[in-house]
Amino acid sequence: MNSMSKKQLPILSRREFLTTAAGAGGAMLLGPAELNAAGEGVDARTARVISGAIGIDMHNHVYPAGTEPHPWHDQAPRKDEQPPAPELSIAEEIKESGLTAACASFVMDFAPNKKPGDARDNLLSWLSAIDAELEKGHIRRALNMNDLRAAHAHSQPTIVQTVEGAHFIEGHLDRIEEVYKRGLRHLQLLHDKDDMVAPLGDTNTNPAHLGGLTAFGAEVIKECNRLGIVVDLAHASHETVLGALKVAKHPFIVSHTSLDSWTGKNPKTFEMMKPRLIGREHAKVVAETGGVIGVWTHLTDSLKEFVGSIKAMADAVGIDHVGIGSDTDLLSVRVGQGTNKAWPGLTGGFFNEVAGEMLLQGFTPGEIGKVEGGNFCRVFGKVTDGRG
Ligand SMILES: [Zn+2]
C-alpha cells in the first residue's frame, strides 16, 4: 500500500468507527489486500473487519420487550438492589453490540414445567412473544443464509431462533416440525434436566445414566437434519457427542463452552463451570463433523482474557471450528450480564470490541471473520440450504 492510498484512509476515532461500521453494508468478504493498509490504525482496520463480517453470537438469552427477563430465575435481583433496567429493545442492544444476529435462546428447563405439555406450551408462547416483536418490525428472524446476508447488508437486527434444552419434544418427534414452522432453526438438545418423558442423552453436569445419546435422541438429530435445523450439543456428555457423531448427517455445534485447560483466575468459578467445559478430544469430535464450538465469556475477567480463551480453542481445533457463544443475556436487568457489558470498561459494543482485541492479539482479518460469524454461517448455510 503506497503513501497516497494511506492518506486516503483516515484513522477513525473509536466512536467514528462504530458509527461507520454500524451502517456499513460492505462486501461480504474483504481480501487481505484490502485489509492490510500499512500503517493503518487499529480502529480503522477494525472498522474494515467489522464491515466485512457477519457477526453471530451463537448463544445468547434474549427476552422479548415487555416480558420480564428471568421470570423463573431465583437470582433475579430485587428491585431495590439494582438500578432499573434501561429501556432498551432487543434491536437496540443488537445494534449497539455490532452483531448481525444473535442465536436467541429460551431456557426450557428453568421455566415451570410441572406436567407433560407445559414445556411445549411455554415454548410456543415464547415464540408468540417473539412473533409480536417481528410484527412491530423491531427485529427479524433468519431462516436461512439469505436472511443473514440481508441482515448484514442492511444492518437489520436479527435473531436465529433457538432453544436451550429440547424438553418441549416429550417423545413427540412431530413437535420439531411444529417449531420449525414457527421459525426455529437451531436446537440445543440438552440443558440441565432430562426431558420428563423421553430423555435425549446424558448431560455433562448430571451422573451418566442413559448410556450417552439415547435411541430417541438419535431420532431427534435425524429429524433436525431432515428439516434443516442446526443441532447444538452444548451441555452434552462426551459419550452423547460420540453417539451424535455416528448418526449426524450434517455438522453440529457446541454453542457455548471453553476448553477445560482454560481455568480463568477464580478457582471457585472454575470448580462450578468445570463440568460444562470440554476437553480437546471432545472439541475434535465437533470439528470432525465440520462443526463449530462457540467460546463463552465465562472464566474471563476481561476482553483480553476472552480473546486468550478463543486462541486456546483455535490452537486445539483449528480456526475453522471456533465461534463465539457469549452465554450472556443480551437484554438483562442484571447488571453485568448484558452482552454489551460483559466486562468492565466495554464501551464500544461487544462484537466491535472483540474484533479490535483480536487484531491486537495477532489474528488476521480473515481469521476474525471466521470466528466472529463466518464459521457459524458455514454450518447454518449447509444445514438450512435450499430450505425456507
Ligand atoms: Zn448453557
Q: What is the pLDDT of residues 198-249, one digit of tens each?
A: 999 999 999 999 999 999 999 999 999 999 999 999 999 999 999 999 999 9
- Whole-number Å distance, alpha carbon 191 to ligand 1 midpoint, is 6
Ranges 56-65, 147-156, 182-191, 231-240: which has the least confidence: 56-65
Give buried/exposed letters for 163-188 (b at 16+ CB in 10 A, else e): bbbbbbbbeeeebbebbbebbbbbbb
| Residue-level pLDDT at 129 | 87
Ranges 92-101, 179-188, 331-340: which has the least confidence: 331-340
Q: Is the pLDDT of residue 327 over 90?
A: yes
- Residues listed for the chain: 388
Helix (H) or strand (E) holding 19: helix 14-23
- Whole-number Å distance, alpha carbon 290 to ligand 1 midpoint, is 21
- Whole-number Å distance, alpha carbon 328 to ligand 1 midpoint, is 10
- Whole-number Å distance, alpha carbon 105 to ligand 1 midpoint, is 9
Q: Is the pLDDT of residue 278 over 50?
A: yes
| Residue-level pLDDT at 31 | 41
Q: Mean pLDDT in the chain?
A: 84
- Whole-number Å distance, alpha carbon 220 to ligand 1 midpoint, is 19
Q: Is the pLDDT of residue 21 over 90?
A: no
- Whole-number Å distance, alpha carbon 165 to ligand 1 midpoint, is 9
- Whole-number Å distance, alpha carbon 368 to ligand 1 midpoint, is 24
- Whole-number Å distance, alpha carbon 1 to ligand 1 midpoint, is 45
pLDDT confidence of 86, banded at 50, 70, 90?
very low
Using the structure block, give the residue that is written with the C-alpha cell 471453553: 258
The CATH number given to 56-73+83-384 is 3.20.20.140
C-alpha distance from residue 6 to each of 27, 89, 135, 359 (Å) = 21, 39, 45, 19
Read off the pLDDT of residues 353-379 as tens digits, 9 standing for 90 and up. 999 999 999 999 999 999 999 999 999
Using the structure block, give the residue that is written with the C-alpha cell 435445523: 229
| Residue-level pLDDT at 348 | 86
- Whole-number Å distance, alpha carbon 37 to ligand 1 midpoint, is 40
- Whole-number Å distance, alpha carbon 199 to ligand 1 midpoint, is 17
- Whole-number Å distance, alpha carbon 296 to ligand 1 midpoint, is 10
- Whole-number Å distance, alpha carbon 53 to ligand 1 midpoint, is 25
Domain locations in the chain?
Answer: 1-52, 56-73+83-384
| Residue-level pLDDT at 152 | 96
38 torsion bin: left (phi>0), alpha (psi -120 to 50), beta (else): beta
Q: Is 5 helix (H, G, I), strand (E, B) or coil?
A: helix
Q: Is the pLDDT of residue 196 over 70?
A: yes
Half-sphere exposure at residue 263, Cβ-oriented, CA atoms within 13 angstroms: 6
Q: Is the pLDDT of residue 30 over 50?
A: no
pLDDT confidence of 138, banded at 50, 70, 90?
confident
Give CA torsion, residues 113, 115, 117, 123, to 10 deg. Answer: 0
| Predicted TM-score of the model (pTM) | 0.86
List the grid coordinates of 124.
410456543
Q: Are 358 and 367 in contact, with CB atoms under 8 Å apart? A: yes
- Whole-number Å distance, alpha carbon 121 to ligand 1 midpoint, is 21
Q: Is 141 helix (H, G, I), strand (E, B) or coil?
A: strand
| Residue-level pLDDT at 231 | 98
- Whole-number Å distance, alpha carbon 234 to ligand 1 midpoint, is 7
Helix (H) or strand (E) holding 175: helix 174-181
- Whole-number Å distance, alpha carbon 208 to ligand 1 midpoint, is 18
- Whole-number Å distance, alpha carbon 190 to ligand 1 midpoint, is 9
Q: Return phi, psi of residue 295, to 5°.
A: -90, 130
Q: Is the pLDDT of residue 122 over 50?
A: yes
- Whole-number Å distance, alpha carbon 254 to ligand 1 midpoint, is 10
- Whole-number Å distance, alpha carbon 335 to ligand 1 midpoint, is 19
- Whole-number Å distance, alpha carbon 19 to ligand 1 midpoint, is 32
